[in-house]
Amino acid sequence: MPSGGEQQFEAVIRGRDGRTLRPDHVRWDVHPDDLGKINEHGLFVAGDRQRHGKVVALVELDGIIVRGAARVAISAPATGAIAGQVTDDNTASGIEGAKVKAVRLGGVYWVGMAQTDADGNYLIGDLIPGFYVLYSNARGFIGEFYNDTRNYLEATPLNIAEKDTASGIDFGLSEGGAIAGTVISDSDAAPIPEAHVVAFLIVNPRFARNAVTDENGHYRIDAMPSGAYGVRANAIG
């Protein structure tokens, strides 16, 4: 919302059966303090600085205090957009159901997300002005940042202006390699279902992928970037 803008907030309690309950008392607050002002009736007036924070409601019902919060961003209107296509590097065909995430850099935290259609096209709307880092991933493919890097520090930020649409922001994802095998018992060579298998990159053990074996003890870990991996398995008992 813009600086000086007003927004009416309401605190609602719903029981386990879905019924809306009337609170005995509501106390409103904002964090941080200079985010804006809110009165006893939940009317919020935004401050004059671009920033993000929370409007908090402390609700009392039958002697129990329940806390609820809503995120608020003080900024120019969210009228920007990013559009493009996510394709398979090997076939150049669009990937349906790929996810694309845009995260704003700087003082006001803002995130936009979208999922690709049958042709691999996506559109992320309702973005406030600023610089954004984009990331795309899909099941069975290695995720990457824009523009064509798997390293966040090497990502190319996009500057999105008010009422601006950055088009042609495309991704080409690779399927990568796979690690597959079977987990068995040393004592009788019986397959072990529901064993946990983790493959970790030798040069960077923080990079790891996981799998759980099926009823026959088989596992497969897809979308592995090239490199040397260590593989570890463990199971109950």
Reply yes or no on whether the pLDDT at 131 is more than 90: yes
For tokens 């824009």, name the residue. 146
Note the pLDDT of residue 61.
83
Strands 171-173 and 80-88: parallel
**Average pLDDT for 202-206:** 93
Confidence of residue 117 (pLDDT cuts 50, 70, 90): very high
Question: Which residues touch 89 (CB under 8 Å, ≥6 apart)?
Answer: 172, 173, 174, 175
Note the pLDDT of residue 77.
87
Percent composition of the chain: helix, strand, coil (DSSP 3-state, to 5): 5, 55, 45
CA distance 133 to 159: 9
Reply yes or no on whether the pLDDT at 9 is more than 90: yes
**Average pLDDT for 47-52:** 90
- Average pLDDT of the residues of the chain: 94
Note the pLDDT of residue 24.
81
> pLDDT (tens digit, 9 = 90+) per residue, 149-187?
989 999 999 999 999 999 999 999 999 899 999 999 999
Burial class from Cβ neighbours inside 10 Å (0-12, 13-18, 19+) for residue 13 reads middle
Short-list 113, 120, 119, CA closest to 98? 120
Note the pLDDT of residue 147.
95
Note the pLDDT of residue 233.
98
C-alpha distance from residue 51 to each of 1, 72, 173, 180 (Å): 10, 9, 34, 48
Reply yes or no on whether the pLDDT at 13 is more than 90: no
For tokens 């279902």, name the residue. 193
Neighbours of 74 (CB within 10 A): 23
Note the pLDDT of residue 23.
81
**Share above pLDDT 90 across residues of the chain, in percent, rounded to a whole number:** 80
**Average pLDDT for 103-116:** 93
Confidence of residue 106 (pLDDT cuts 50, 70, 90): confident
The model's pTM? 0.76
CA distance 5 to 36: 10
**Average pLDDT for 47-73:** 91
Reply yes or no on whether the pLDDT at 15 is more than 90: no
